[in-house]
Amino acid sequence: MTTLLIVDDDPATRLFLKTLLSFEGYLVRLASDGQEALTILDTVACDLVLMDIQMPVLDGYQTTRQIKERMRHERFLPIIFLTSVETDWELAQCLECGGNDFIRKPPSMVILKARIQSWLYHAELVNKLAEDRLDVERVILKMRQDEKFDPRGLRMLVAPLEKTNGDLVLSARRSDGVQYLMVGDFTGHGLAAAICGPMVADIFYQLTYQNVPLQTIVSRINDSIFQRLPANMFLAAAFLELDRTGGWMRVWNAALPAVLWIRSGRLVHKFPSTLPPLGIASPLAEMTCEQHSLMEDDRIYLFSDGSVETRSVTGDYFGEERMIRFLEECASSQRTLESLTEVLDTFRGGREVTDDIALVEVRWMEP
């Protein structure tokens, strides 16, 4: 049965509304102030709230803000204000605090019933869509938990903005022990970006186990994205080929921030992007790559742009130079990779997180 919560400090109003709405077939719960309403919502799944503004303890504005914050990651709960206020500013506050609608007191019973039915129908659609999205997210997360991933020699920080992640980290080894690593960042973030990850992962792992050269794998991923995804979906990615026995590496960078090579806690070399994002054009532009010799203490860092493009309250970017200093401290064991989230939170100064973050450290000599 559909449950309505009436929040009003006037007993006569509560009784009148309860009698009317119970007659319409609704189960009605009553609260005399905002705090009592919050207590009820902790234990009762209500489908819609009728909210007064002027109440003791917590007024309607404060109560609505708290309800919306509590329900933000759960389900959509419509709130209709029943109010006797007259000014436009006070009525606008009903919506600014998170309310979905308002009706002046005394309400027209025809209008009140119609608004309730309309918002209940809207909530049903929104919550059904959220449930469907959750099912899709579960499927994607299951698909991305790939047992083929080879974590040896890696330290990682992956901080998705939503449950699903547009950033992608793949690692595997050929039969001769040469390791391939990819860090990728699909357009945007969340569900639309994450849904493309399994296709790329299948190509990466299948061809790696066939001992296909990494340069060919990059081209195959590019062609698949170009042919199978919409034009607005593309992938920024950096690839690392690492031969620990021979002591060398190769790097390809397609529109990701520069891959950083750090030795003894100091930057040795940057590998900036030399290729366009994958999926923009096919075939991919000519790929040239130098082979670099490694030493025992070397660290290679690949990361998506979510970290360097974090902005402060003044609009400044965290940027490459701050990232280099942070990673030099990580390489010299003065910091952990996980502390990057704290560093970015401090730099952000209260601004909301706007992008996924992926950071991978590769050691030539495995610990």
| Residues in the chain, total | 367
Closest CA to 304 of 260, 253, 357: 357
CATH topology identical between 3-138 and 148-363: no
CATH of domain 3-138: 3.40.50.2300
Rounded to an integer, the average pLDDT of 87-92 is 82
Rounded to an integer, the average pLDDT of 160-164 is 56
Q: Is the dihedral of CA 69, 70, 76, 79 positive or negative?
A: negative
221-270: pLDDT as tens digits: 999 999 988 888 889 999 999 999 999 999 999 999 999 999 999 999 99
**Domain 148-363 CATH (choose: 3.60.40.10, 3.90.650.10, 3.40.1390.10, 3.30.70.20):** 3.60.40.10
pTM: predicted TM-score of the whole model, two decimal places:
0.67
Cα-trace Rg, the chain: 27
Rounded to an integer, the average pLDDT of 57-62 is 91
- With helix as H, strand as E and coil as C, how does 166-200 read? CEEEEEEECCCCCEEEEEEEECCCCHHHHCCHHHH
Instruction: Provide the percentage of residues in the chain whose pLDDT is more than 70.
Output: 92
Element (H, E) at 46: none
Count Cα neighbours of 332 within 13 Å in the Cβ-side half-sphere.
Answer: 10
Domain residue ranges of the chain, discontinuous segments joined by +: 3-138, 148-363
304-342: pLDDT as tens digits: 998 999 999 999 999 999 999 999 999 988 789 989 989
pLDDT band at 143 (very low <50, low <70, confident <90, very high): very low
pLDDT at 83: 85
pLDDT band at 193 (very low <50, low <70, confident <90, very high): low
